[in-house]
Structure 1
Amino acid sequence: MKRIVFVLLTILFLSSSVFAFGPSLGMQAELRGGGYLTLSPKEARNMFGNGFLIGGSLRKSVFPMIKVGISVDRITLSENSAVQFADLSPELQDEFEALADDFDIEFATTPLCLEIMLEPPVLPLYAHAGYGIYKSTVTVKDQDSGATLYDESKTRWGGFVGAGTKLGLPLLPLSFRVGVRYHMLKVDDSAMDKGIKALSAEAGVRLNF
């Protein structure tokens, strides 16, 4: 999490320097945060729960209304018994459930997507979509020793569509946006053959340079 925040802040700082000392490159850097809600199916709601999102995008203007770029987020999900043990074998589930208070469990998802954004120059609205990989990680550590007992990750293909409203500042290269994204993840699981659906509500600050 700290690394992602540092990288995003560095991009914003360097971007502002470029704007101050040179002509516009048609680029846009964004830093955002918000909440994440797993919608369906029931098995996915139990497994992934809800959480918080922090992330950013780097976009390039290719047409007056269209930008393309890369989007990366870090979604930290709330703890619950299903999240803690969903990817463990039945034997380990029984053992860990009996000693759950002795463990620190972390569950996170990191989407990395190619993104396209549509922004009408007059209307205070935008729409965007993306497709890429959603990497989920489960880590179980012993509270006393700090030893890692379980560390496993899975990568799923997924994408999102979203829309919202934007607000620019006169004579400044800064703008703000508030919106929602609908996430769709493909999984190899008969109980979730239609995939996982989730919703994120987020606000972001953007720098054009």
Structure 2
Amino acid sequence: MNNKNPTVGETLVKWFRYFGQDQSRVSWVERFRSSFGAFLGLLCTVLFGQFVGGFVGVDEWFMASLGASSLLIFVLPSSPMAQPWAVIGGNVLSAIVGVTCNHLFDNPVLALPVAASTAILGMFLLRCLHPPAAAVALIAVMGHTLSYRYAFFPVMIDSVILCAVAALYNSFTGKPYPTKPSIEVTPIAKSEVDKNAELNARLNAILDEYHEVLDVDHAELVKIIKLASKPKEK
């Protein structure tokens, strides 16, 4: 019986996994593609925001949460939380909530959690969940922002510019953005249609019982399941 003691490296790896170190491996090409896309998107957003801010005489022309938004948009362009409606709608809604909380509460100890939680609930209702948007509400409260103009500029304008750059860059580098349902251009046998309908029905039933938000598009999930169930070619 072999009772080989684990090495220090193996022990560290084992303990490190308890912190969720289970992200998928990504090629260096994709790492550089995503990172450069984030650089390009933020550069264009900063330059445009600075120009508009100087033109209209507004000092606050950029929000730090766009750094997190750029990660989602360029690293996970197919994620439902990275789509333009999620980015723009989530950010604008959260900005409005943050400004409103400044008007309603004098104490930031109460205003901060109310702003973030209300923004999250609102994003659920409008189907525009975007994690960095919760920070927009907090930024508005911490900055004591009282003007609803903030939701239009810089929040909405900057979000639109970032999404526009992402649409051009991601599509040019082989990552369609925004994502849209695939359209079949070839005839499909009736048996295949029935099989797809059954798969979708089963997947929807499972997701209804799952009771958690999945950061993956429904169409992408179906595609992955189909690929995994395909017989391996010899």
Q: TM-score of the superposition, structure 2-length normalised?
A: 0.28
More helix, by proportion: 2
Higher CA-based Rg: 2
Q: TM-score of the superposition, structure 1-length normalised?
A: 0.31
More strand, by proportion: 1
